[in-house]
Copies of this chain bind each other. A is one copy, B any other.
């Protein structure tokens, strides 16, 4: 865990003066990394040794060391949540903004990721008789990607990208099936209804979607991806990338859960590719 988060952590018991110091640091960390012990002591209204003791509490050898670590933790802290692309951005800054936004989305998603939910989801997936991925519109490709990945680890999986197939399949599910509904907003009516049907059939319904959305309420397990309110027109939908990474997590977890006997299967798949490819050596 990064230093900044450690300071935030309320479970870390701090003395009265230490709290004051923490307060000031969290309030304006940018200023603190350029301050001296004396300055921080004055700002927090404590003595200089108290500041140093504070640093030691967080495993730093001293104040300079603390500053350095704080600076690092600050640099990895969330960048500008979303930097909307502007009509008169240069190509270069546009690229920068898009990459930045993607990094930010990933960080948010990781920070918000709920271990128990992921655990539950992988358990369900690992035991499933069959796995269904449902996505519409922009989430269609995501569902397809999931299908591809689960297929590679030898799982009975299908992705459906249209309402009809989704609904037809849902109506015939059993408690041994798992449905994963992927939706950016979690407000697409058709998908919500499908989720409801699937749940009624007793299937496990996993949602990769926006927290507290109508879809989320229909799901038995929710993997939350924060949706930054539809900001600008040109803002790319970075959240679908978060969805993909979450699917990476699920696939990997399931593969690991199945253990080493499956690496053999993966190897076989890799070999089957060989003849469709130009080998690096012969090229």
Contacts and interface: CB of A to CB of B under 8 A. Distances in A.
Nearest to A238: B248
A44 interface: no
A274 to B, nearest CB: 10
A111 to B, nearest CB: 10
List the 6 shortest-distance A-B pairs measured between CB atoms, nearest first.
A75-B75, A141-B145, A236-B248, A72-B75, A141-B144, A71-B71
B65 A71 contact: no
Given A138-B148, A187-B277, A187-B283, 20 more contacts: A73-B75, A75-B76, A76-B76, A89-B256, A95-B110, A98-B252, A99-B107, A99-B109, A99-B110, A102-B248, A141-B141, A141-B142, A142-B145, A189-B276, A189-B277, A190-B276, A214-B283, A236-B251, A238-B248, A240-B244
A248 B98 contact: yes
Contacts of A252: 85, 94, 98, 234, 236
Contacts of A189: 276-278
12 contacts: A34-B65, A94-B253, A95-B249, A98-B245, A98-B248, A99-B109, A99-B110, A138-B145, A141-B142, A141-B148, A188-B277, A241-B245
How many copies make up the complex? 2
Interface in A256-282: 256, 259-260, 263, 266-267, 270, 276-280
Contacts of A99: 106-107, 109-110, 245
A68 interface: yes
Interface string A118-145: 1100100000000000000110111011
Nearest to A148: B138
Max chain B Cβ within 10 angstroms of own Cβ: one of A65, A115, A276: A276
Interface residues of A, number: 80
A157 to B, nearest CB: 13
A79 B52 CA distance: 30
Interface string A49-66: 000000000000100110
Contacts of A106: 99, 102-103
A167 to B, nearest CB: 14
A46 interface: no
A60 to B, nearest CB: 10
A177 B190 CA distance: 36
Nearest to A62: B34
Contacts of A115: 91-92, 95
A125 to B, nearest CB: 13
